[in-house]
Amino acid sequence: MNISLTGRQLELTDAIKVHMNASIETLNKFNMDIISVNVVASAQTKKGKNHSVVEFVINLAHKNSIVIKQNDDDLYAAIDLATARAQKAMRRMHHKETDYNKVGINGTKNEAVDVKEAVEALEDEIIPVELALYKPREVEDVLQDIKESGKLFEIFIDHEDKTRVLYKRNDGKFGLY
């Protein structure tokens, strides 16, 4: 971003330049491609009174330029008012570009499909297995099967016709439910 500070019938002190640069830097928050900013500060006398006039010309990439002219008795106040008006204009342009509220029905459908696909990708895959009728088994036999096969758990029916689960715990021991 090119910044040009000019004083007409007015000397730009270092303090005024710092204030102008700080004001211009606040315009970066809108993430618009600012090519250049020209600031012209001038002093005018009308009807016996001195006025400070600040003119901002903000050139944006692929958009119209923003021109703001502000009068005030105090130069710093004129700079602040012009900066506020420039921020308001850039905020309006930014909101026109992003357009948060207007989403067409096709865009909504596409977003819904994307969300469904993302949810399906995150879900764990569950494969249903039909359990055949088992003969009652001893816990020791099931424990031996788990150790040999490397399975994490085994569901079986014990001699009291209860469905039981023998599982391997995180600590390496086995639990029975």
Give tens-digit pLDDT for 50-85.
899 999 999 998 888 999 999 999 999 999 999 999
Give the chain's domains with CATH numbers: 2-98 (3.30.160.100), 139-176 (3.30.505.50)
Percent of the chain with pLDDT over 90: 41
| pTM of the predicted model as reported, rounded to 2 decimal places | 0.55
d(CA 177, CA 156): 10
